Amino acid sequence: MLFLAFLGFLFSILGLQCLVYTVVGDACVAMDEWVQNPTAHTALDDILPCVDNATAQETLLRTKNVSYQLVNVVNGVINNVVNQNFPPSSAPLYYNQSGPRVPVLCNPFHSDLTDRQCASGEVSLYDSSEVWKNYTCQVSSSGICSKRGRLTPQFYTQMSAAVNVSYGLYRYGPFLVNLQDCTFVRDTFTDISHDYCPGLWRYSQWIYIGLVIVSAAVMLSLIFWVIYARERRHRVYTKRYDARLEGLYKGG
């Protein structure tokens, strides 16, 4: 029994050593392999939900296109309705808009979706809401401007909402696409395998020592239990033996 406990202890520390080294080592090797071979099909590709580069680029183009179209729609309204002076007869295009012209949005893309620089007098997606506030007017009960200004609060809200969507796509589209084609994961893994994998190896020693202590403790308690059980059996036996002797004396 004692011998078995000792054997178990030996096997468990050898086994644990293998396990710890294998798990830590495998994770590090797999990350390295995956980071260094962007196109090859490695073990990690089966568990990471990455799309291929072409699909990711397609998504990026679509988000750019939506941004581009939204800005165009808003600018269309500004140029054709808000900044025009209509006679009162041409309602609903006429709502008594007057005063300085509202600046148009800066479209961050050309029609071929390449990056575009803002022209002077254009307002960026980022601060258009702030700038346009200055061009809002007070409305009368009939819904037309009763004071100088070119945007009714309702117009302002709708245009700001459109800009918010467009800005969100413009600002976060590339980031989301990074997630999609796992560029982000790739960067993280590169960092881990450079900065932490060597440390993980060292750290695995500590995990290993901890596990050895645990298994030693288990072995010791097994040994004590065996000793205790033996001792108890011995005592019970002796007691019974004594009792029989006593009976013999009484009977005799």
Least Å distance between CB 197 and ligand NAG? 22
Q: Which of residues 227-246 bind ligand NAG (CB under 6 A)?
A: none
Pick from 10, 130, 113, 3: nearest CA to 64: 113
Told to check if 154 binds ligand NAG by CB under 6 A, we report no
d(C-alpha 176, C-alpha 171), whole Å: 10
Told to check if 161 binds ligand NAG by CB under 6 A, we report yes
Contact residue for ligand NAG among 63, 136, 152, 160 (CB under 6 A): 160
Pick from 189, 211, 194: nearest CA to 18: 211
Least Å distance between CB 45 and ligand NAG? 14
Q: Which of residues 168-227 bind ligand NAG (CB under 6 A)?
A: 183
* CB-CB contact of 60 with 173 (8 Å): yes
* DSSP code per residue over 107-124: PSB-TTS-B-PPPTT-B-
Contact residue for ligand NAG among 105, 145, 169, 177 (CB under 6 A): 145
Told to check if 152 binds ligand NAG by CB under 6 A, we report no
Told to check if 140 binds ligand NAG by CB under 6 A, we report yes
| Displacement of CA 60 from its chain's centroid (Å) | 19
Rounded to 5°, the CA angle 163-166-168 comes to 105
Told to check if 84 binds ligand NAG by CB under 6 A, we report no
Q: What are phi and psi of 69, to 5 degrees?
A: -65, -40
Least Å distance between CB 180 and ligand NAG? 11
Contact residue for ligand NAG among 26, 45, 58, 130 (CB under 6 A): 130
Q: Which residues contact 199 (CB under 8 A, 6 or more apart)?
A: none
* CB-CB contact of 85 with 99 (8 Å): no
Whichever of 22 and 57 has its CB closer to ligand NAG, that residue is 57
With CB under 6 A as the contact rule, which of the stretches 17-25, 29-37, 125-133, 228-236 interacts with ligand NAG?
125-133
Told to check if 73 binds ligand NAG by CB under 6 A, we report no
- What are the helix (H) ranges across 37-116? 53-77
With CB under 6 A as the contact rule, which of the stretches 8-16, 156-164, 188-196, 198-206 interacts with ligand NAG?
156-164
d(C-alpha 247, C-alpha 180), whole Å: 88
Least Å distance between CB 185 and ligand NAG? 11
Least Å distance between CB 145 and ligand NAG? 5
Pick from 146, 41, 154, 169: nearest CA to 97: 146
Told to check if 42 binds ligand NAG by CB under 6 A, we report no
Residues that bind ligand NAG (CB under 6 A): 38, 53, 57, 61, 65, 96, 98, 112-113, 129-131, 134, 140, 144-148, 157, 160-161, 164, 183
